[in-house]
Structure 1
Amino acid sequence: MNAPHPSKVAGIDSTVPSPAHTVAPAPTASGSSPVPPPNAPGALLQDRLAGWVSDLTTLHELTERLARTAVLAEALTELLRAGAALVGARRGLVVLEPGDGLGPDTTIGLGLARADLGHIETVPRSAMSYGRILDGLPGADGEIAEPDLLAEDGLDPRHREVAARLGYAACYALPLSVEHGGRVGAAVWLYDEPAEPGERQRHLVGLYARYAGEHLARLVEVERTRACMATMAEELLPSRLPRVAGVQLAARHRAGPRGGGDWYDALPLPDAALGLAVGSVTGSGPSAVAAMGRLRASLRAYAVMEGEDPVAVLSDLELLLRLTEPARSATALFAYCEPALRKITLAGAGHCPPLLVGERRTEFVETSLSAPLGMLACWEAPSVEFQAEPGETVLLYTDGLLHRTGDPTDRAFARLHAAAAGVPRALRHDPDAIADHVLRTVLPDGLDAAEGEEDVVLLAARFE
């Protein structure tokens, strides 16, 4: 009879079920002679085939889980977990360090706290297996197995000290690379006792690491594109808000992963006036960001020339959009503010109404219904005029703030109203605090900081 198989296949965690490779012979009747064992070569072949099928099934499941990760940090964590299961380790770390030097660079641990990673980073780089791989030192072009670190005579003293402190006695490292693009990083798994993966385990984790390197390389490119788009969008927005007597300003901008066309602006105008604007260009990606920059620059020019008439400003902007970008539309809201009188005259083109927040009232400003710019042959809408009380704050925002909630439009508006009405009295004198409170309340659970699909713009103006 074949020997029973252990609960792990090739060092794979027992949570991944392994099929029974052979079937135990049926019990014989009492007094009858035992059935002779099956032909040994045939049973061995069957056993090996079952093992290969189990290994390939597990490898497929692990690569599928990795393929479902769309964020770099999630992919690195999944890589560590799968690799630890394949080599039979409990802890590990992955160092992301693309060979072209363009980043992003990061280190993520499995079963290691941030302080533990800090201790490891104090070891000379050339004494760590991942450091030798990343630096391309001799003998480090492939896997590195150190089955008994503390028994090595040439082990770096600092490495010995850190290994004893963290309680690991062996490690196994693999490069993460792409076939034609060079290295991406290196992964290291740590053993609590002297150990090393067997040949079968090394083969499986090597296949997995090859796929993981390609997947990580793709996510690195995505991350770089996102960072580039966010930088472009931020550079096209005001680097700082103007100082105008009688009003305090604050702005918040959250860019989507693909780069959107939401924007805001605040500019001083003649006669101690102030122009406030928010808007959103349709589409996403580099073309939308570029269109946003052109639209914002044009609105600034029109505001300086005829800012006291917001309808004229938006009419000129609509004409420009139709002539230069006929396939694109945009929403916009422009407000001409006279801080000394706390008087605001505004016009909107398909945009969300401002929200007025004060001690006695929290209400949406009634604006006329109008189409977005570029949607009609000739845009026109009346302006609206209102006056803010001392200490009241006007909130201008884009519809991305509402869309990120995931609620229907009416519920999203109610959520925004409740968030503004709930601003603590102690914070109402600070527009920065008001903006932060509204974002955290409307978008809880980190949605205000997370990369949502929609851009978010919030501009707060508090009148003294």
Structure 2
Amino acid sequence: MASNAPVGKPTDMSSPRLPKVAGIDSTVPAPPHTVAPLPGVPSAATPSDAALPPGVLIQDRLASWVSDLTTLHELTERLIKTDSLDGALREMLGAGAALVGARRGMAVLEPADGLGPTSTIGLGLAHADLGTIETVPRGSGSYGRLLDGLPEADLPGAGLPDADPPGAGLPGNSPTPPRRPARVPEPIAIRDVRTEEGLDPRHREVAARLGYAASYALPLATEEAGRLGAAVWLYDEPAEPDERRRHLIGLYGRFATEHLARLLQVERARARVATVAEELLPSRLPRVPGVRLAVRHLTGPQGGGDWYDALPLPEGALGLAVGSVYGTGPSALAAMGRLRASLRAYAVMEGEDPVAVLSDLELLLRLTEPARSATALFAYAEPAQRRIVLAGAGHAPPLVVGDHRTEFVETSLSAPLGMLTCWEAPSVELSPAPGETVLLYTDGLLRRTGDATDRAFARLHAAAASVPRADRSDPGAVADHVLRTLLPGGLDPAVEGEDVVLLAARFE
């Protein structure tokens, strides 16, 4: 065993050494992503460094950097999985609390452009606590100073020309002035609320009531995204994060801000699509004697082309329609609006003949939009006689729900509009009994289940048959029960671009 003993200085020999390369200094510089080692690790300026072997300090520093990078990687991975603003704010609050060593906090989303949305999220704070904090004068609170400390002139592009002046950059002309980046305010640390100078008395009163003694506020702002909001973490005792924690929360905060900016764009796009879709659909359902109506319309993130309509016709009649335009996005919404407006006109002129209405609609679609197809179902109802005449073009059959039956209406098989040179299919007549509800729906209701077509139809039939007897007198309750039973988790996120329309008509 003695022959295997190390020779010389074991520590020096086992210490990692950087290769010597001509022209390259082997000294390891401090990386830009960390400004201080973990607590307990001696720094290069301490006298104890002289007694440490050269490789030990490097290893400890590297271990500290690797630990910080691993922590940031794990936290950002969790943040990037969030797909909503509220979810991202809550995840950011929890991760930030761990990084700065706090227990409670709040995040305020308030984009500087004023276009919204705005919200306030709390961590370890009840809704009443958030309301109490908001009673602090805005100029005294940390988050208020951050939100108001970024003037409009410092936002990206503010006060700068939208385009370069004519001739800018050409020889002999003045160069184009560079655009100034947005100014990002510095974080605000209040080590002790009781002794901090310049605080409003109300601030100290609220802090004493909620039991926090210090705070650290971080702006949710970057040069590219501008100001989106602010986050504040609250300490139970006087404290403030050290330099290392500030650096880590700063890196994480910049990443979180960019992620929030992306989610904000998506949220605004969804809101615009939903607004356009709602404006293209009826604002209210008509009241016609002998029938009660209810509708449920669920829109996916991309916005589909599903639509519905209910319009009074001469002699007490009622026109009911549902349809779907293939495609998603603004173009599908625009086509849906044109198709619905055209069907209303044809229904007023010749609503007694649903086949003629759909034939005219198919001709219009083929002439004006030959590359697009759509499904549609139009029903001409006479509530006084409880008589319905309907025709469908590639559309799912209606479902009749009553005390004594739950069955699909047998309609003829027909191609969607725009698929044939000339569309025409026979109509179907039915007479719902008093108290029965007729359900008209779009294909999205079936596709959103994620099941095969035959199984989706079977599930729809079972959902309608299971409507409680007490709810069958209310068409809205019937529609709600069917949706809850068929789509218990809401719209299936795995099926994109499919809206859901469910129109219920109960005949008295």
- In the superposition, the TM-score normalised over structure 2's length comes to 0.81
Mapped partners of 1:297, 1:453: distance in 2: 22
Equivalent positions of 1:322-401 (< 5 A) are 322-401=366-445
Aligned partner of 1:233: which letter? Answer: A
> 1:441 pairs with 485, 494, 500, which one?
485
Aligned partner of 1:356: which letter? Answer: V
Q: Taking structure 1 as reference, are residues 123 and 300 closer, same or farther at Cα in structure 2, changes over 3 Å only?
A: same
Note the alpha carbon deviations across 1:210-243, whole angstroms, 9 max, x for none. 1111111111111111001000000000011111
Mapped partners of 1:143, 1:287: distance in 2: 45
Mapped partners of 2:57, 2:190: distance in 1: 32
Contact 1:333 1:347 in 2 (8 A): yes
SS of structure 1 residue aligned to 2:306: strand
Note the alpha carbon deviations across 1:268-305, whole angstroms, 9 max, x for none. 11222111000011111111111100000000011111
Q: Return the offset for 1:131.
A: 0.5
Q: Return the offset for 1:399.
A: 1.6
Q: Return the offset for 1:363.
A: 0.8
> 2:141 pairs with 110, 128, 148, which one?
128
SS of structure 2 residue aligned to 1:366: coil
| Identical amino acids, percent of aligned pairs | 77
Q: What's 1:82 paired with?
A: 95
Q: Return the offset for 1:415.
A: 2.2
> 1:429 pairs with 468, 473, 478, which one?
473
SS of structure 2 residue aligned to 1:271: helix
SS of structure 1 residue aligned to 2:315: coil
Q: Taking structure 1 as reference, are residues 51 and 407 closer, same or farther at Cα in structure 2, changes over 3 Å only?
A: same
Q: Return the offset for 1:153.
A: 5.2
Q: Return the offset for 1:378.
A: 2.0
Q: What's 2:167 paired with?
A: none
Mapped partners of 1:452, 1:431: distance in 2: 28
Note the alpha carbon deviations across 1:153-207, whole angstroms, 9 max, x for none. 5433322232223222111111111313420110111112211111011111111
Q: What's 1:97 paired with?
A: 110
In structure 2, stretches of 5+ residues that fail to align are 1-10, 12-33, 43-49, 152-182
Q: Return the offset for 1:446.
A: 4.9
Structure 1 stretches (4+) deviating beyond 6 angstroms? 137-140
Q: What's 2:131 paired with?
A: 118
Q: Return the offset for 1:395.
A: 0.6
Mapped partners of 1:161, 1:352: distance in 2: 64
Note the alpha carbon deviations across 1:39-59, whole angstroms, 9 max, x for none. 444322221122112212221
Mapped partners of 1:320, 1:178: distance in 2: 51
Q: Return the offset for 1:360.
A: 0.9
Q: Does 1:252 align with 2:300?
A: no
Q: Return the offset for 1:64.
A: 2.2
Contact 2:448 2:487 in 1 (8 A): yes
> 1:70 pairs with 83, 86, 89, which one?
83
> 1:176 pairs with 208, 217, 220, which one?
220
Q: What's 1:30 paired with?
A: none
SS of structure 1 residue aligned to 2:396: coil
Mapped partners of 2:496, 2:481: distance in 1: 18
Q: Return the offset for 1:151.
A: 3.0
> 1:308 pairs with 348, 352, 357, which one?
352
Q: Taking structure 1 as reference, are residues 291 and 114 closer, same or farther at Cα in structure 2, changes over 3 Å only?
A: same
Contact 2:323 2:377 in 1 (8 A): yes
Q: What's 2:56 paired with?
A: 43
Q: Taking structure 1 as reference, are residues 301 and 360 closer, same or farther at Cα in structure 2, changes over 3 Å only?
A: same
Q: Return the offset for 1:401.
A: 1.6
Aligned partner of 2:136: which letter? Answer: V
Contact 2:450 2:492 in 1 (8 A): no
SS of structure 2 residue aligned to 1:328: coil
Contact 1:254 1:448 in 2 (8 A): no
Q: Does 1:243 align with 2:256?
A: no
Aligned partner of 1:369: which letter? Answer: L
Q: Taking structure 1 as reference, are residues 410 and 239 closer, same or farther at Cα in structure 2, changes over 3 Å only?
A: same
Contact 1:277 1:335 in 2 (8 A): yes
The answer to which of 405-414 and 37-46 deviates more is 37-46
Aligned partner of 1:121: which letter? Answer: E
Mapped partners of 2:217, 2:452: distance in 1: 50
Note the alpha carbon deviations across 1:419-461, whole angstroms, 9 max, x for none. 2222222222221222222222222245599x97531111111
Contact 1:280 1:330 in 2 (8 A): yes
Aligned partner of 2:137: which letter? Answer: P
Q: Taking structure 1 as reference, are residues 442 and 249 closer, same or farther at Cα in structure 2, changes over 3 Å only?
A: same
Number of positions where the alignment pairs a residue of Structure 1 with one of Structure 2: 433
Mapped partners of 2:269, 2:220: distance in 1: 21
Q: Taking structure 1 as reference, are residues 381 and 73 closer, same or farther at Cα in structure 2, changes over 3 Å only?
A: same
SS of structure 2 residue aligned to 1:227: helix
Q: What's 2:204 paired with?
A: 160
SS of structure 2 residue aligned to 1:149: coil
Aligned partner of 2:312: which letter? Answer: P
Mapped partners of 2:456, 2:399: distance in 1: 13
Q: What's 1:58 paired with?
A: 71
SS of structure 1 residue aligned to 2:384: coil
Q: Return the offset for 1:366.
A: 0.9
Q: What's 1:34 paired with?
A: none
Q: Return the offset for 1:140.
A: 9.1
Query: Which is greater in Rg?
Result: 2
Mapped partners of 2:465, 2:450: distance in 1: 21
Contact 2:376 2:392 in 1 (8 A): yes
RMSD: 2.5
Q: Taking structure 1 as reference, are residues 359 and 107 closer, same or farther at Cα in structure 2, changes over 3 Å only?
A: same
Q: What's 2:21 paired with?
A: none
The answer to which of 408-417 and 226-235 deviates more is 408-417
Mapped partners of 1:287, 1:159: distance in 2: 52
Contact 2:303 2:497 in 1 (8 A): no
SS of structure 2 residue aligned to 1:340: helix
Q: Taking structure 1 as reference, are residues 117 and 452 closer, same or farther at Cα in structure 2, changes over 3 Å only?
A: farther
Mapped partners of 1:205, 1:262: distance in 2: 45
SS of structure 1 residue aligned to 2:311: strand
SS of structure 1 residue aligned to 2:139: helix
Contact 1:80 1:94 in 2 (8 A): yes
The answer to which of 226-235 and 307-316 deviates more is 307-316
Mapped partners of 1:306, 1:157: distance in 2: 74
SS of structure 2 residue aligned to 1:378: coil
The answer to which of 284-293 and 179-188 deviates more is 179-188
Aligned partner of 1:407: which letter? Answer: D
Q: Does 1:415 align with 2:459?
A: yes
SS of structure 2 residue aligned to 1:356: strand
Mapped partners of 1:452, 1:250: distance in 2: 25
Q: What's 1:25 paired with?
A: none
Q: Does 1:202 align with 2:246?
A: yes
